[in-house]
Amino acid sequence: MPAPTRRARAAKSTQPISVVAGAAGFLGSHLTDLLLSRGHRVIGLDNFITGAVDNIAHLGGNPNFKFIQQDVTEFIFLNEPVNYVWHFASPASPVDYLEFPIQTLKVGSLGTHKTLGLAKEKGARFLIASTSEIYGDPLVHPQTESYWGNVNTIGPRGCYDEAKRFAEALTMAYHREHGVPTRIVRIFNTYGPRMRLRDGRVVPAFISQALTGKPLTVFGQGTQTRSFCYCSDLIEGIYRLMMCEDQTANFPVNIGNPSELTMLEFAQAIIQATGSKSKIVFKPLPQDDPKQRRPDITRARQLLADWQPQVPLAEGLEKTIAFFRGKV
Ligand code: UDP
């Protein structure tokens, strides 16, 4: 093999190195793809509790991607420099965190501790994937970053909400105490290819029901609202946040799509987009299900070079439905 040219060596040495915890998950794998496309070398970590090999299989043989199967609540040892640490590891659907409440609490607390420790050790910048769930069942609408939330600590969603609230607090503590450059993104409902068919979230649930001609299960009266962001819009906003040099960038930023729908409207949109003959049935509303959710993205737009969602719901659904057609 010919020796690398000086230019190739220089390019190699300035190549940013990112660690993505949760790289085999829905969002972690899309983030990994974006980082690779922007010239990063990526070290992906995942223990496959809710992640899937399928999400990263296309990266096999990519010299810029290395995968380590690891639970990030355990000590993370990496014998190489790291510039960016992205903590995206966590069960993220209400069904998943009911099944794995202790792992959910551990990855949000111990996993955040370990990934922050890695960033501190390497002198890297750190970003935590937080969530709109930290607002709980919000009493302020739309949700601004200055709202402190309305969370039931001991309810079925408490394991996720409180783990993420702890993760934000720990991130701020590492920033203040150790000077680690940190970012906190509060992710609102996101959808797209690579969601798990049976993760229980409304997007895969409705699409798989519509594609198989089963009734769509709307919980409660279907009057509760959500605002759905397509995955590529979300990941672009998060990438910009990590790279943002603004002095206030360490404070939380909402990323999501502010166009809000009731779950009944959403069920109708899915029936229309799939051309399904499925009916709608009503099922009991799960405990502590937030009644409304919509991000105020004013801060993101100001901070992130006028970032805003580009993909309309119809277009995002078309891509997501195409993905699920191959899965049902
Ligand atoms: N939902 C529904 N039918 C389903 C699954 C979910 O009506 O089969 C509702 C759920 O009650 C909630 C909304 O859809 O109001 C979004 O639920 P999801 O689990 O996707 O995430 P959440 O935003 O609650 O974390």
- What integer pLDDT is reported at residue 163 of this predicted model? 98
- Compute the mean pLDDT over every residue in the chain, rounded to the nearest whole number: 96
Could you tell me the distance, in angstroms and rounded to a whole number, from the CA of residue 290 to the centre of ligand 1? 9
In a domain, 303, yes or no: yes
Q: Which among 219, 227, 293 is the best mutation to test ligand 1's pocket, defined by most ligand atoms within 8 Å of the CB?
A: 219
Task: Give the closest residue (by CA) to ligand 1 atom 21.
Answer: 201
Residue range 266-294: mean pLDDT, rounded: 97
Cis peptide before 142 (omega within 30 of 0): yes
- What integer pLDDT is reported at residue 100 of this predicted model? 96
Residue range 237-248: mean pLDDT, rounded: 98
Q: Is a pLDDT exceeding 60 seen at residue 11?
A: no
Can you tell me the distance from the alpha carbon of 222 to that of 261, in angstroms, rounded to the nearest whole number?
10
Ligand 1 binding residues, C-beta < 6 A: 93-94, 189, 200-202, 205, 217-219, 224, 226, 263, 286, 289
CB 139 within 8 A of CB 150: yes
Task: Give, in degrees to the nearest 5, the angle at Cα 116 between 55 and 92.
Answer: 40
- What integer pLDDT is reported at residue 1 of this predicted model? 44
Most distant CA pair in the chain, distance: 67
In a domain, 285, yes or no: no
Domain that holds residue 72: 14-195+231-257+295-310
User: Which residue, among 234, 209, 215, has the nearest Cα to 309 in the 3D structure?
Assistant: 234
Could you tell me the distance, in angstroms and rounded to a whole number, from the CA of residue 272 to the centre of ligand 1? 19
Edge-first strand order for the sheet with 253-255 is 65-69, 41-46, 17-21, 84-87, 125-131, 182-187, 253-255
Angle between the N-to-C axes of helices 202-211 and 313-325, in degrees from 0 to 180, rounded to the nearest 10: 60
Q: Is a pLDDT exceeding 90 seen at residue 8?
A: no
User: Which residue, among 52, 63, 58, 180, has the nearest Cα to 124 in the 3D structure?
Assistant: 180
Number of domains composing the chain: 1
Q: What CATH number is attached to the domain comprising 131?
A: 3.40.50.720
In a domain, 31, yes or no: yes
Could you tell me the distance, in angstroms and rounded to a whole number, from the CA of residue 262 to the centre of ligand 1? 10
Phi first, then psi: give them for residue 137, nearest 5 degrees: -90, 95
- Provide the percentage of residues in the chain whose pLDDT is more than 70: 96
In a domain, 166, yes or no: yes
Contacts for 113 with CB less than 8 Å, ≥ 6 apart: 170
Tens digit of pLDDT for each residue in 179-213? 999 999 999 999 999 999 999 999 999 999 999 99
Task: Give the closest residue (by CA) to ligand 1 atom 14.
Answer: 202
In a domain, 317, yes or no: no
Can you tell me the distance from the alpha carbon of 263 to that of 280, in angstroms, rounded to the nearest whole number?
11
Q: Which helix (H) or strand (E) holds 48?
A: none
Q: Is the pTM of this model over 0.85?
A: yes
Tens digit of pLDDT for each residue in 285-323? 999 999 999 999 999 999 999 999 999 999 999 999 999
Task: Say what the alpha-carbon torsion angle 291, 166, 300, 95 is, to the nearest 10 degrees.
Answer: -40
- What integer pLDDT is reported at residue 12 of this predicted model? 56
Tens digit of pLDDT for each residue in 75-102? 999 999 999 999 999 999 999 989 999 9
Q: Which atom of ligand 1 is nearest to the CA of 216?
A: 8
Q: Is a pLDDT exceeding 80 seen at residue 5?
A: no
State the residue for tokens 């992906």.
44
Tens digit of pLDDT for each residue in 28-62? 999 999 999 999 999 999 999 999 999 999 999 99
In a domain, 220, yes or no: no
**Residue 104 CB neighbours (<10 A):** 27
Tens digit of pLDDT for each residue in 108-143? 999 999 999 999 999 999 999 999 999 999 999 999
In a domain, 217, yes or no: no
Q: Which among 135, 263, 266 is the best mutation to test ligand 1's pocket, defined by most ligand atoms within 8 Å of the CB?
A: 263
Task: Give the closest residue (by CA) to ligand 1 atom 13.
Answer: 202
- Known catalytic residues? 160
In a domain, 273, yes or no: no
